[in-house]
Amino acid sequence: MNPSLDCCTCPAFGPFCEGISEGAERCREIEPWLDPIGGLDLNVDLAPQPEFELPPFFPQLLNGLEVPSVLSREPAIGVGIAKALTPQGQVSHRAIPQRYGTRSLRAQWGIGEGSLLLCVGNALDGYLERLWPAQCQDNAFGRIQSLGFDAATSLNFSIYLDRPRLEHLVNVKRTWLTVRRMQETSTLIPIPHLQWGHPLDLERQIRYAREQGFHTVTVNLQLVKRQGWDVVATGLPILQEQAPELRLLFTGVASLKRMAALAGAFPMSSFTNTTAHYLAQRGVRLRLAEGHGTRLIKEPVAGHPDLILAENVALYREFLDEIRQGAAHSRLQCQRRSTSFDLGAALQTQLGFDPRAAGDALNLLATDESILEAFQAWLRTGRLDGSFTGSFGLWPCWGSVPHPTLGELLDQGADPAEAFLHLAYLAAQVDDEIQALAAQAGC
């Protein structure tokens, strides 16, 4: 970077920031934020993190369940902080819905005493900005502990790439200050969030976490599609190289493809998401497509949502178990050599796609298993069902996109391949909306 003249006198220039070529005046507007947080140095002494265990996957609940036996067997359960506290740092009615009931969320939600109950500090920006002064002045984390929680992640203040660089550094410092506040006012096990807009930020936090005796940290990927996966991806090799001993808790990962990549890179990592519960509440069970590696099928079923949740959790957990044992890798390789290879070749030889476009089309079609199967059947037989719409019309959020039939798209002038790809594009939009709303529902 070529720093501007304004950067040369900025308190962040040198140790925390390499300078920016334009827009330095925006950082200047944020300088008054530094005094209340004691500057940008990560110089707060913290107590070492106690030892604790996390399973490969555990659910993050959106509200309580009605079948305690489902939860009593879970080794760990997550709950978003916005379900526990109001923005003013008081106990929320969403945590304690019964007016005269016990003040323990654990008891009211039927969570077993043997389960580690973890408060996840991911929430919408407006909520966190209001909670920040409340937790500084009041005993917000003590209230979380009183609800029956055993552990909590730090508050996850957002880092947006189009915001001033100094704001990134302030939010990194504030995230770690909530760890100190947690230790000062409760006996909760703190799990800091790692977040970065630049590799310098990540390297500094890795050193600090190691010096302070932390062995487990959190990386929030709930809204990564909106914030930029590329930035996260640049930091993962740094974590592998500089902190192989750190255990990572990834929040918000719903895609098996991404989960497989992360679990392969970080074998001792853990995962939690709200998607398993969000879909279960809407009567949708997740199923792994046979012989297709990481493709998830969303299957509407009749059944109690608590039992559907148990099946969704089991799917993620068993998948991660296979990743750890190496079986999933073999299955993915086999799938890549068979179905994907054959279909990818057909896209190139029969339809004239170049290799990269064929791969992109295959990934898009696989969003909805029924669309992929209908597309393959058309390539084999040449037959088309004009009433076909795909299965995404049965998923939550399907009303957010148009839902034409295959015949309607053909009547509008699309060729069959274009029509199938358009349906797959609509399915991908629905899938993105589900992930975004599941993440927000956890806030």
Each residue of 272-304: b (16+ CB within 10 Å) or e?
bbbbbbbbbbbbbbbbbbeebbbbbbbbeeeee
Alpha carbons 189 and 111: distance in angstroms, whole number = 18
pLDDT recorded at residue 295: 86
Question: Is the pLDDT at 327 greater than 50, yes or no?
Answer: no
Which range has the top average pLDDT, 51-60, 325-334, 339-348?
A: 51-60
- Alpha-carbon distance 118 to 147, whole Å? 11
Q: Which among 84, 101, 86, 62 is positioned nearest to 144, based on CA atoms?
A: 84
Give residue-wise pLDDT tens across range 359-387: 888 889 989 989 998 998 898 888 899 99
CB-CB contact of 40 with 59 (8 Å): no
* Predicted pLDDT at 17: 81
Contacts of 42 (CB under 8 A, 6+ apart): 172, 173, 176, 204, 205, 208
Query: What confidence tens digit (pLDDT) does each residue in 50-77 have?
Result: 999 999 999 999 988 877 677 778 999 9
Instruction: Name 57's Cβ contacts closer than 8 Å, sequence gap at least 6.
Output: 270, 271, 272, 313, 316, 317, 320
**Helix or strand holding residue 288 (H, E):** strand 284-288
Cα 129 vs. chain centroid, distance in angstroms? 20
The three-state secondary structure class of 79 is: strand
Q: Is the pLDDT of residue 210 over 90?
A: yes
More confident residue, 9 or 269: 269
Reported as a single tens digit per residue, the pLDDT across 280-306 is 999 999 998 876 678 899 999 998 999
pLDDT digits (tens, 9 = 90+) for 430-439: 998 998 888 8
State the pLDDT at residue 333.
53
**pLDDT tens column, 232-259:** 888 999 999 999 999 999 999 999 989 9
CA dihedral sign of residues 429, 433, 439, 440:
positive
> Average pLDDT for residues 342-352, to the nearest whole number?
81
Residue 230: pLDDT above 50? yes
pLDDT band at 262; cut points 50, 70, 90: very high
Residues above pLDDT 90, as percent of the chain? 53
How many Cα neighbours within 13 Å face the side chain of 120?
32
Rounded CA separation 328/322 (Å)? 5
- The single residue listed with the structure tokens 């970080």 is 266
pLDDT-derived band at 338, boundaries 50, 70, 90:
very low
Helix-strand-coil split of the chain, %, nearest 5: 50, 10, 40
Strand 116-120: give its sheet, edge to edge.
189-191, 151-153, 116-120, 76-80, 57-61, 270-273, 247-251, 216-220
19 vs 329: which has the higher pLDDT: 19
Q: Given this model, what pLDDT does residue 189 score?
A: 98
* Contact partners, residue 341, CB within 8 Å, separation at least 6: none
pLDDT of residue 227: 52
Q: Is the pLDDT of residue 104 over 50?
A: yes
pLDDT at position 424 over 90? yes
Following CA atoms 127, 117, 57, 129 in sequence, which dihedral angle do they give, to the nearest 10 degrees? 10
- Residue with the bigger pLDDT between 340 and 99: it is 99
Calculate mean pLDDT across residues 22-43.
Answer: 82
Q: How many residues does the chain have?
A: 443
Q: Is the pLDDT of residue 8 over 80?
A: no
| pLDDT for residue 325 is more than 90 | no
Determine the residue type at 72: S
Q: Residue 214 carries which side chain, given as an amino acid letter? A: F
Q: Which structural domains are found in the chain, ordered by start?
A: 57-281+300-310 (3.20.20.105), 338-438 (no CATH)
Distances (CA, A) of 33 to 12, 22, 42, 180, 344: 13, 21, 15, 19, 53
Going by their DSSP bridges, the two strands 151-153 and 116-120 should be labelled as: parallel
pLDDT per residue as tens digits for the range 155-181? 999 888 878 888 889 999 999 999 999
DSSP 80: E
Per-residue pLDDT band for 317 (boundaries 50, 70, 90) equals very high
Integer Cα distance of 159 and 401 in angstroms = 30
Classify residue 55 as exposed, middle or buried by CB count within 10 Å of its CB (0-12, 13-18, 19+). middle
Is residue 393 scored above 70 in pLDDT?
Answer: yes
Q: How confident is the model at residue 99 (pLDDT cuts 50, 70, 90)?
A: low
Question: What is the chain's mean pLDDT, rounded?
Answer: 87
Query: Other C-beta atoms within 10 Å of 18: how many?
Result: 14
Give the three-class secondary structure for 273: strand
Q: Given pLDDT bands bounded at 50, 70 and 90, which one contains residue 78? A: very high
pLDDT class for 150, splitting at 50, 70, 90? very high
pLDDT of residue 224: 52
